[in-house]
Chain A
Amino acid sequence: MRQSQTVLRIRGVTKRFGPLVANDDVSLELRRGEMLALLGENGAGKTTLMHILFGHYRADEGEVEVMGRPLPPGSPRAALDAGVGMVHQHFTLAANMTVLENVTVGTRPLFSARLRQGAARRRLADLSARFGLHVDPDARVRDLSVGQRQRVEILKALYRDTRILILDEPTAVLTPQEGEQLFATLRLLVNRGLAVILITHKLREVMAASDRCVVLRHGRVVLRTATHETDADTLARAMVGGEVPRVGRRPGEPGAEVLALDGAVLCDDGGRTLLDGLNLTLRAGEILGIAGVSGNGQAALADMVSGLLRPQAGELRVHGRAVAAPSPAGMLALGVGRVPEDRIGTGLVGDLSVMENLVLEIYRQRPWSRWGLLDFSAMRRGARELIARFDVRCQGPGAPARQLSGGNMQKLILARVLSGNPSVILANQPTWGLDVGAATFVHKALMEASRAGAGVLLISEDLDEIFQVADRIQVMHRGRLSAPVRPDEADAAAIGLAMSGHGDARSEAARAS
């Protein structure tokens, strides 16, 4: 076999959803032993293309060839049999089963007399050793770390004789160190002849690890290049389709404490510790970034600041006064504005209109209602004003919120929160899934609010985002927060170590000085 043998050929694939063209004449080739980075903003068509490859969707036009043979459209089974494997961003493992069971599930006939565990075990051990993917085959998946689970996902794909491995945003859930380890593994796989497609929007990884890049924008291939012939700026411009917007950073003037947690402790119903003596001080006029891999207590912290949970020990203070019995209503009354993680399920009611969503927290007050009756004309007037001010693209105040794009949903939530002039703003993963333009809008809005005197608590898994806008950074790990550092005295490696529970976020250099 020649080294440059083409294993996957996608030719002229077009997919339409009503008036929307998700993929427009997309062609792509993948060779044995190479890593191809598939880049693009959200909604550029990366996911649709992969769904077509996997047979979840049928392309309207075009065809897919694997190993020189056409792949029958609309058949996930055929894709798997042809050797296409995928590691999803959200893992598809059964938490209550062992690694071995997860790897072998679905590969054996449903009704077979014996399980042939021995052969499967040997094969798994062989794969683990060959690619340096070490996990205990008898460990239950629920006891594994996120990085280990990802290894199981890759093993699962390799066990099925995968020759084309697709990874969707594989580092989104990893610490920087775990990410480096992943890329070392992928390099090894590629050297052994596997073909890898890496779906990502992190340009640093693309530049460091991939052989070739394909950039999608509005469903079309806009750039196709060898990685060593391009640079991050070119790729970014191709993704955005112009200059990359920047957040104008201005120095903050931190004022009085607006929100504080003192040794907050919280356990879930099963007795698992979610928050383990958490300390945090947020001052007026600053953005405090909470970095960390999700699942380390961020949700509990956000719920506590929202008033949905109360600390079982320790103290929650707003404006210097202890809040004994926090409630959503109480926290709102104290001026805490909340941008929740889950836009459509928590932040907005999808079937309600834009204007109804805008008054979701204030409909009891005049002029939105009077004597218990709602005033729709006042709501409509107010909504028109906010839609214009926050540039919410929608069909009008009466349009259902569900119809809005992710970016516009977030603008809608920001419009609601910021129009209440909150003194504390909780923003939990505010740019998750947004494209660069919308993300910059969110960053600018948060920056402006903080410079106007609000304290902003920004919880994010995206280190780049934290470094870009936060005035101070704390890292969350297993329900605790590291000591705060300023972005200019921290570096990503030190933050990464703190994310995996080693040391605090201060860099060696800063500590020495």
Chain B
Amino acid sequence: MEPPRWGSIFIFPVALGVSLGVSCLLLAAQGKSPALGLEVLWSGAFGAWYTVEDTLLKTVPIFLCSLGVAVTFRMQVWNIGAEGQFALGAVGATWAALTFANLPGALLLPLMFACAAAAGGAWAAVPAWLKLRLGINEIISTLMFNYIGILILEYLVYGPWKDAGSHGFPMTSQFVPAAVVGHFPGTRLHWGVALCVVCAVGLWVLLTRTRPGFELKASGESLRAARYARMPYNTLVLLVMALCGALAGWAGLLEASAVTGRLQPSLMVGYGFTAIVVAWLARLSPARIALFSFFLAALRVGAENLQLELGVPAAFGGIMEGLILLTVLAGQFFNGYRIRPGGAHR
């Protein structure tokens, strides 16, 4: 029997309440006022227009990575490598930005997007190929590829691409203006916000209106039936992985180009991991992914404020993120069961 559907509406608010409650206990354990903590958390994310801008800016990379991750999850390919694909995308874009710095923006930016997608996509395609050819578990390989990807980025900014005028800081030189993704006039929001909308619509069309989308849907629901109906499983796995890599790569590009204006290790703050949490919370639906990306971005911004105002450790945001995922998953699990008063099995 299907679990009662009405229960699922309540899961998230209840889980959120529980995890906020636990967070308050943690705050109290450190001698901070929980009420003040919640207020600081809220005002950090939504207190003023510029904090909302911060939240929206962080929503963009989480959303793009999560869209890609969700597509691979739909195919039951457990790709947790968005972080590494993000890094390689940033590297690919930076290579184009540094190498072809003389090109006009109309050429340089598309080239950067192409390079980011190619680098991120290739970085995702390798574990996919290893899975299909050698049967290597993609969970392990994509996880490991994250670290390799991050280390490649660090090697480049500490070594060959280091800006001579950076006084020893690990960073490339500032991108030329032609290599910077522009902003909406009068705001700090860059054109990546629009890209998110385009990607979401494009993905929706791909998934619901096209042949590959149909194959993806069928393969995701029943792999055996899809194979039996001669659907090209290997091609589809490569396709979804490359797609995820490209989307995560674009997230990396946007961070490097529009937010920091250069490549530096501080870009890697774990958006690719948060994306997995988002995809799972949203149960792979694109609309809900947008919602939860915004929500977890707000949590990140709010937790940063908590760190600034109350001196709470930086890890606190990560703890809250984990708590929410855990309580939601537990809620979904229990939603499938009836709780027996007395719990008697005899």
Contact = CB atoms under 8 A, between A and B. Distances in A.
B213 to A, nearest CB: 8
B218 interface: yes
B224 A345 contact: yes
Most-contacted residue by chain B among A306, A332, A374 (CB, 10 A): A374
Given A308-B228, A360-B229, A350 B211 contact: no
Interface string A324-348: 0001110010000010101001111
Interface in A267-314: 306, 308
Contact of A328 (B1, B214, B227): B227
Contacts of A342: 224
Contact of A372 (B1, B210, B224, B228): B210
A373 B211 CA distance: 6
A75 B230 contact: no
A347 B225 contact: yes
A348 B209 contact: no
Contact of B211 (A352, A361, A372): A372
A356 B210 contact: no
A352 B210 contact: no
Chain A: number of interface residues, binned into ranges: 20 to 34
A17 interface: yes
Contacts of A351: 221-222
A332 B230 contact: yes
Given A17-B1, A346-B224, A349-B218, A361 B210 contact: no
Nearest to A359: B214
B346 interface: yes
A374 B222 contact: no
A340 B228 contact: yes
A290 B257 CA distance: 67
Most-contacted residue by chain A among B217, B221, B227 (CB, 10 A): B221
A345 B218 contact: no
B341 to A, nearest CB: 13
Interface in B189-240: 209-214, 217-218, 221-222, 224-230
A308 B150 CA distance: 41
B345 interface: yes
B230 A329 contact: yes
B218 A77 contact: no
Chain B: number of interface residues, binned into ranges: 20 to 34
Nearest to A362: B229
A350 B222 CA distance: 8
A165 to B, nearest CB: 23
A369 interface: yes
Contact of B226 (A329, A332, A338, A349): A349
A159 interface: no
Most-contacted residue by chain B among A75, A308, A349, A373 (CB, 10 A): A349
Contacts of A373: 209-211
A75 B225 CA distance: 38
Interface in A349-382: 349-352, 356, 360-361, 363-364, 369, 372-374
A244 interface: no
Contacts of B229: 328, 360-361
Given A338-B228, A361-B229, 17 more contacts: A17-B1, A77-B345, A77-B346, A78-B346, A332-B230, A340-B228, A342-B224, A345-B224, A346-B225, A347-B225, A348-B225, A352-B217, A352-B218, A356-B217, A356-B218, A361-B230, A363-B211
20 contacts: A17-B1, A77-B346, A308-B227, A328-B227, A338-B228, A346-B222, A348-B222, A348-B225, A349-B218, A349-B225, A350-B221, A351-B222, A356-B214, A356-B217, A360-B218, A363-B211, A372-B212, A373-B210, A373-B211, A374-B214
Interface of A: 17, 75, 77-78, 306, 308, 327-329, 332, 338, 340, 342, 345-352, 356, 360-361, 363-364, 369, 372-374
